[in-house]
């Protein structure tokens, strides 16, 4: 078990050793640690290893010149200059928040970035400014459009956070796919079959094989097949792709650069790096601030008081489970599985810093 503080110091040192400025190292670290605290280790420490390997392969820019390349009163396009995604994304969300202060809302499309990790990290940045936060990103193509077999879209998550007064904030963060890649990997390890409607084989025939992605298969968009609304998930994922990668001038859809160093760099490019999209809306650009926050409390209370289905104890507001996990892990400490401890130890050894293996 580790404290957040221990892992934070390790991560900051590791990124500083790679050449990051202390500010950038701290910025990236905050996102990794938040993912661990929210109980999402797939976006936590293991991403430090991914970035370490991209850095060794000279595929990220450790001293990027992140800058606005186009803007209007409420918008900006940010060029991440090949930065670690968490750094380009944090800077972009800060710009969205600044724009919102003067224009009411701020919208930033980011290009030249890389995998940005936890989508909801950026939306939560807006909350302390009494703003609604919005964040979305493209990701490596695994999802086929409806009626197609070509993986063209990533898991393309959407996150939205809305502040309330006494109630904890509404915080939604979800992939626009029927199933997460990580869940397929777990099913494969357990020897389980995938329920029909989540993945298809290389010909577009429904499959129950959790390893089907390795055989030319693809994940279906949220909603599954067209009969249960999969075309809606396809549209939603396409919107994320257009906002994140066409508005910004990044590599859209199938051209999204691989976020893992063992995947080859794509030969064809149609823009710069990976793309994200961020929004910040001042609640008092719509309502008197207190009135809005009180109404959001009423909204949350109303939905929390919906009658639970048979066998369920309560109805959740998006963000409830993650917040409860955050509170628990913050108290108990962060459990890091042995293989990831080993990864961190190897990084530490190569960079000449300390990392302690623990039970």
CB of 229 to a copy of itself, least distance (A): 5
Q: Does 142 bind a copy of itself (CB under 8 A)?
A: no
Dihedral angle computed from the Cα positions of residues 266, 351, 87 and 42, in that order, rounded to the nearest 10 degrees: 70
Q: Does 98 bind a copy of itself (CB under 8 A)?
A: no
User: How, if at all, do strands 199-200 and 105-113 pair?
Assistant: unpaired
Q: Does 163 bind a copy of itself (CB under 8 A)?
A: no
How many Cβ atoms from other residues are within 10 Å of residue 350's Cβ? 12
CA distance 136 to 252: 13
Decide whether 58 or 302 has the Cβ nearer to a copy of itself. Answer: 302
Burial of 278 (0-12, 13-18, 19+ CB in 10 A): buried
CB of 246 to a copy of itself, least distance (A): 5
CB of 306 to a copy of itself, least distance (A): 4
Q: Does 185 bind a copy of itself (CB under 8 A)?
A: no
> Residue 220: what are its φ and ψ, rounded to 5°?
-85, 150
168-196 burial, b at 16+ Cβ within 10 Å, e below that, comes to ebbbbbbbbbbbbbeebeebbeeeeebee
Of 189, 190, 214, 310, which one interacts with a copy of itself (CB under 8 A)? 310
CB of 199 to a copy of itself, least distance (A): 12
Q: Does 162 bind a copy of itself (CB under 8 A)?
A: yes
Q: Does 72 bind a copy of itself (CB under 8 A)?
A: yes
Q: Does 68 bind a copy of itself (CB under 8 A)?
A: no
CB of 164 to a copy of itself, least distance (A): 10
- One symbol per residue from 245 to 284: x for binding a copy of itself (CB under 8 A), - otherwise; what is it? -xxxx--xxx---------------xx---------xxx-
Q: How long a stretch of residues is the chain?
A: 359
């Amino acid at each position: 078990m580790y404290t957040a503080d221990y892992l934070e110091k390790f991560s900051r040192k590791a990124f500083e050793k790679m050449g990051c400025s202390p500010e950038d190292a701290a910025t990236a670290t905050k996102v990794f640690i938040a993912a661990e605290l929210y109980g999402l280790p797939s976006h936590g420490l293991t991403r430090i290893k991914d970035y370490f390997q991209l850095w060794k392969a000279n595929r990220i820019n450790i001293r990027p010149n992140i800058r606005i390349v186009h803007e209007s009163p409420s918008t900006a396009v940010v060029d991440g200059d090949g930065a670690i995604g968490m750094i380009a994304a944090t800077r972009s969300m800060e710009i969205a928040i600044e724009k919102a202060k003067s224009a009411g809302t701020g919208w930033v499309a980011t290009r030249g970035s890389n995998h940005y990790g936890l989508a909801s990290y950026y939306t939560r940045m807006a909350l302390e400014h009494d703003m609604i936060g919005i964040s979305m990103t493209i990701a490596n193509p695994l999802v086929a459009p409806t009626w197609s077999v070509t993986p063209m879209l990533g898991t393309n998550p959407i996150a939205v956070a809305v502040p309330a007064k006494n109630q904890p904030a509404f915080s939604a963060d979800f992939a626009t796919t029927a199933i997460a890649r990580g869940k397929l990997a777990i099913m494969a390890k357990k020897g389980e079959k995938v329920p029909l409607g989540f993945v298809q084989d290389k010909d577009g025939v429904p499959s129950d094989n959790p390893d089907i992605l390795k055989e030319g298969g693809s994940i279906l968009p949220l909603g599954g097949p067209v009969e249960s609304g999969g075309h809606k998930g396809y549209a939603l994922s396409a919107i994320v792709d257009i906002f994140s990668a066409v508005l910004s001038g990044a590599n859209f859809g199938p051209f999204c650069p691989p976020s893992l160093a063992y995947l080859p760099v794509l030969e064809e490019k149609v823009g710069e790096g990976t793309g994200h999209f961020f929004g910040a809306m001042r609640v008092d650009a719509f309502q008197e601030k207190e009135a809005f926050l009180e109404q959001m409390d009423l909204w949350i209370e109303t939905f929390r008081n919906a009658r639970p289905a048979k066998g369920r104890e309560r109805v959740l507001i998006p963000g409830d489970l993650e917040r409860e996990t955050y509170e628990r892990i913050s108290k108990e400490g962060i459990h890091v599985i042995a293989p990831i401890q080993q990864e961190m130890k190897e990084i530490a050894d190569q960079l000449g810093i300390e990392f302690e293996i623990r039970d």
